[in-house]
Copies of this chain bind each other. A is one copy, B any other.
């Protein structure tokens, strides 16, 4: 991924830091890919009845991760509030998706990989959220 280099090429400073933001973008794109494939793989399984919640969460997780990656890729008209709320939503759906995938990880390899991708993305979002930049918004949002 050229994410880091792309952010470094902006003529303005990147709010929250180049490395920090690039890490979240890459984690989001990897998670979106994993979730898209995981949902499709779920629908081929013999125990599809058990996989319905997984497939549904995967779909929303992929959408939120892609949009988060896009918004973070545009520092030009950065809006701290938008980024903050989106990161919160993204971290939450990644957590829900990881938890569900974990239930199937032992018998479906795609869930094991997807769980890992969701956890990595959740962690990356949370690290950005816990940065000083968001301290005040964080307080307002009750954590």
Contact = CB atoms under 8 A, between A and B. Distances in A.
A63 B67 contact: yes
Interface string A6-22: 11011110000000000
A70 B9 contact: no
- Residue with the greatest number of chain B CB neighbours at <10 A, chosen from A40, A93, A143: A40
Interface residues on A, range: 35 or more
Interface in A26-50: 29-30, 32-34, 36-41, 43-45, 48-49
Contacts of A63: 67, 70-71
A96 to B, nearest CB: 6
B71 A64 contact: yes
- CB-based closest 4 A-B pairs: A140-B142, A40-B74, A85-B89, A9-B109
